[in-house]
Structure formats: structure tokens, C-alpha cells
Structure 1
């Protein structure tokens, strides 16, 4: 999955786009040479046109790259006009240099002024066509980003109702018997749903683990001694961002499928570790040894977490699951470097 670009210039400096620009320049040079009336010199004219066009393209791209930081502050329509102006300036410089230094022209009888004006006219036409093409490309890309964002929001929304209903039932049962614990439950619940309702976003690993601890406190009130949690977290956590509520759904699945169906409860193991250039977050639970009522599986929360991890890491991160020796294990892998 490619990274969503925040500015049209970011998308411009991708390998496929750069290759397309160079190939389009070669196609333009071929058209110009084929349009010539002098059939015997078309190969030479193609070479000269290709050299000039590629110099214009590369010079324009270099100028845009050097000016990318101030240009990213501009609105896309105004940025397009600035790019066209840079293209015309580079065309003027290359055409003037070609005539002055080498005496190059596609037509020997052509004067300097007419040659430069003809090159500028071609650049204007090509520039406008490129602007229209790239505008469609950018709009399509933005629509794809919005569609992916909507998909992630829909996936995240699917993991809320089950937990909400269980927590409210637990709170209702504690109101009269243990009001202090009911108050703590509602405070923890408010923190969790504040994070959930904020939508897909990134938070620090430490904040995400804090949300997991609040969730486990709530479930601890619900299950009591039936829930046994083991933490293996280093004292110094990596300074890394993760999607909000990305670890909590895996812990929720572990409780739902490894603790809730069993009368004696079960254990949940949560480990945070680094493996080279990767962060690994492992959530494991024991599978019930005796037959229990069927459940819907781990897939709802798992699919939501997997999609959000891949979106945040641009396809580098992963969420893998294994079942072995009576335990179900989910492992999140996130690169430590961007």
C-alpha cells in the first residue's frame, strides 16, 4: 500500500510519476521529429528534440524539488500555475541556450525569436494538458484516500457495540453493590470512548497501553478472579506511534474467546518487545479445552486492526495470528523507522 500524499508535489516525486514524465517527453520528441518535412534528418531531429525536452523536464523537476517546502503551502490550483510558470521559464532558458551555444533548431532557416516562441507555445500546450491530466490523477488519489478512511472508520465502528453493552451491564450491576468501583468503571469507560469516538488517528504506544490498562480494569471488575492478566512491557517504551485502539481490540478478543466462555476463566498474556528494527506487540490467550458455545471468531477486531496497521505503515506493518499448543496468539509488527 502506498503512502497517501498530503500535497500534489509529494505524489509528483514518486518513481511511477517521474518515469511517466520522462516517457511523455520522449513521445513528444518523437511526434515533433515525425512532423518534420525533412525525412532524412528525422533521427537527428528526434535526438535533438529528446535532449532539449528532457533538459526542460529535469530542470523543472529539480526546481520544484528545491522549492517544495514553500510550494506545499500553496493551494493546489495556485500551485499548478506556479508549476506551469516554472516549465515556461525552463523552456525559455533551454531553448535560448540551445540556440546561442549550439545553434540548434528544428528548422535551419528559422530565426532565434521564432524558434524560442515556438518552443514556448509547445510548452504552454503540453503544460495545460499535463495540468488537466495531473488534476484528474490527484483527484482520483484523494478520493481513494477518503474511501480508505471511510473504510477504516467503518471497521473501527464495528468493534464498539459489544464492549459498550457488556461494560454498561457491568456498571449497572455495580451501582448498588460497589458504587466506588462503578464510578471508576464509568471514568475508565469515558476515556476509552473518547479515544474511540475521535476516529482513526495515531497516538503514542504508551498512551495506547494506558487505554488497554483501563479496559482491563473494567473487565477485571466484570470477571473478578476469572481474568488473569500477565504483562511483559519494558520500562522504557519505544517512542513510536500506533493507531488509537489497535491493541485493545486484540485484548478484547482474547477475553471474549479465552476467558468469557470458560467457567473458571483464563489468562491473557500481553508482551511488548523489539526485534531489530521492528516493534512486536503480542497478545495471547489460552483456548478453552472443553467444548463451549460457538462464537463469531476473532475476525471483526482483527480485520480492523490489520487494516489500520497496514494503512499507518504503508503496507510494511502486519498483524499475524497463530494457534498452537492450545493458545491463540496475535502479533502486531510495526517498523521502528518511518
Structure 2
């Protein structure tokens, strides 16, 4: 009888805007814009060469800067959906154009509303308009330059992380494939059902390696790890003993694709394979108040056991790098050797 198999449909990666426009109207960002505008108004009011009352100049400057900045943010908020389809740098240049247009409109409105009360000549207002337009242009160009530098650095970091993921995905290495196929060949005549199951599990592993998104639900990553362990169990038999400690229900949490499986692979190759008696592997998931911990631990081989092959730290380092990238540095991957066991822990903010 064939083993029943469940289809683990992969959810698409969460849609994220190419540019974090949503951050523009968060409370902290708006407070920063207001305070930065007031600081700029103070600097301009204290600058030499101002005729008349500096308090009046500060008031006009403050009104103009605050209205300009907040109206610019409002326009970008209203147009966020069509802007999301533009290239990042085009959005930055569009924001600069909006800033200049809003500056001109605010200066014109101030002239219409206040020129009689303040008894300022048209030439003085035009000079004020040119001054603030120049300031808006300078601030906007500086902002575009900073954004361009930040975006390029971010893209380089993304490409570096993708290269690490590609290296990790290539770690279903030929020796593993050869071992699996040899095991399958040995099972075909005596245990054909197990041989079929082995090939199906192998197909699952390669499908996940080649086509899965960068982040998947914890449940799917654990299912992939089970497929891998089922393949290795046919090779190691009773030498490999697996213990699962999972909460019910599993936390609905995203994890980097191929983050747990490489740690289990390391546990097998460095703990089970070199030991004649084999050993135990413990896989545990712990949900805390503010964090999620995934632990993979294995028995250390006795001293004098044959040395295992090297070169597996790429899995650990790649998992650590992708966990940190996914969580903005709030998550990490740590290791510990104590009491004859090696433990690797993935920590993610809940």
C-alpha cells in the first residue's frame, strides 16, 4: 500500500512594495518631518541679511515649510498606488517635482493672503519665492542623492543574500543524490514501496530547493525537514533516532526557506554519520511571548570517531544571514556545545 501523501501547497511570498512609501505617513516619520522643518525655519531666521523682524520671518518660514512638507507627503499618499508601479528612482524624482510644485503654490497663496497685511513689495515676495524654491530644490536633490545611495546599497545587500540562498539551494549535493539513488536501488526489489516513497521525498526536496519563495510558513519548512529525514532514515536505519517537540497548534510564523533542513543535515553529517552507534537528533519549537525559537540538537560523536567531511558551515552562515536580513537584525542563529551535545538555535521575533 502506498504511503498517503499530503500536498503542501506553497503560499506566495508576501507582497511588499518596492519602495517603503507607507513609512512616510507613520507617526514617527511625520514628527521627524515637522521637527526638521522647524529646525530649518530657525536656521533661516537666524541667518544674516534678514531685513525686518526675525520673528515675522520665522513665522512665515515655518508656515511655508510645514505646509510644503505636509502637503507633499499628502500628495504622495494619495498617489501611492500608481507610484508603486514606478521604478524606485522615478518615484524619488517625482517626489522632488511635487516638492517644487507645492513650494510654488504655497508661496503664491501666502502672497495672495498676506502681502497687504505685511506691506511687502512684489519684488520682495518674488525674492522670497526664489529663495524657498532654491532651498526646496537643494533639499530635494540631497534627498534624491541619499535615496539613490541607500537604494543601491539595499539592492547590493539583496543580491548578496540571494547569492547566499543560491549557494544554500545548491547544497543538495551530488553525494547526497548518489547515496539516495544507491539506497533506492537497494530497495527496489525487496521493498519497492519504500523505494517509491524515497523517490517522492527526493522530488519534494528538489522542488523546494529550486522553486520555493525566500520565506515560507514554519509548517512547510518542518514538512520539508521531515521529507529529508525520511530519506536519510532509509540510509541510517536505527542509528538515527529523531525526537520532535512541537507545540499544538504550530505558530503561524514565516521562516526563511531551507533554514531548518540544513541544520538537521549538519546534525546528521557531524553527529550521526561519524558515530558507529549513531545518535539522537532533537528538533523543538518553542513559542515565547516575544520570540520564537527553533532548536536542533544532536549527540556529539565519541572521541576517535572518523572525521566527517568539512565545508558545511555555509548552511549555518547562510541561515544566520537570511534570518538577520528577514528580521532586520532582531533574529539570530546561535550554536552551543555542552554535555556531549551540539545545539543550534534559530531565534525569531514573534
State the partner residue of 2:10: none
Q: Deviations over 1:249-294 (max 9, x none)?
A: 1111111122111112111111122111222211111112342122
State the partner residue of 1:320: 334
State the partner residue of 1:330: 344
Q: Deviations over 1:38-73 (max 9, x none)?
A: 5x8779757754653344223322442454345323
- Alpha-carbon distance change, 112 to 44 in structure 1, aligned in 2, over 3 angstroms: closer
- Alpha-carbon distance change, 81 to 305 in structure 1, aligned in 2, over 3 angstroms: closer
State the partner residue of 2:12: none
Indicate whether 1:87 and 2:80 are aligned: no
Q: Is the 8 A contact 2:45 2:54 kept in 1?
A: no
The alignment covers a number of residue pairs equal to 332
Which blocks of at least 5 consecutive residues in structure 2 are unaligned? 1-15
State the partner residue of 1:236: 249
Q: Is the 8 A contact 1:91 1:119 kept in 2?
A: no
Structure 1 residue 122 displacement after superposition: 2.7
State the partner residue of 1:260: 273
State the partner residue of 1:147: 160
Distance (whole Å) between structure 1 residues aligned to residue 98 and residue 322 of structure 2 = 39
Q: Is the 8 A contact 2:216 2:257 kept in 1?
A: yes
Q: Is the 8 A contact 2:215 2:254 kept in 1?
A: yes
Equivalent residue in structure 2 for 1:205, among 218, 234, 245: 218
State the partner residue of 2:192: 179
Q: Is the 8 A contact 2:324 2:332 kept in 1?
A: yes
- Alpha-carbon distance change, 105 to 65 in structure 1, aligned in 2, over 3 angstroms: farther
Structure 1 residue 198 displacement after superposition: 2.0
Q: Is the 8 A contact 2:284 2:295 kept in 1?
A: yes
Distance (whole Å) between structure 2 residues aligned to residue 163 and residue 290 of structure 1 = 25
Q: Is the 8 A contact 2:281 2:299 kept in 1?
A: yes
State the partner residue of 1:57: 69
Distance (whole Å) between structure 2 residues aligned to residue 319 and residue 162 of structure 1 = 27
Which blocks of at least 5 consecutive residues in structure 1 are unaligned? none
2:255 is paired with a residue whose SS is strand
Structure 1 residue 211 displacement after superposition: 1.0
Q: Deviations over 1:294-321 (max 9, x none)?
A: 2338623211211121122222122111
Q: Is the 8 A contact 1:257 1:297 kept in 2?
A: no
Equivalent residue in structure 1 for 2:291, among 278, 293, 311: 278
State the partner residue of 1:98: 110
Indicate whether 1:72 and 2:69 are aligned: no
State the partner residue of 1:306: 320
Q: Using the TM superposition, name which of 73-82 and 233-242 deviates more.
A: 73-82
TM score, norm. by length of structure 1: 0.80
Distance (whole Å) between structure 2 residues aligned to residue 224 and residue 48 of structure 1 = 81
RMSD: 3.8
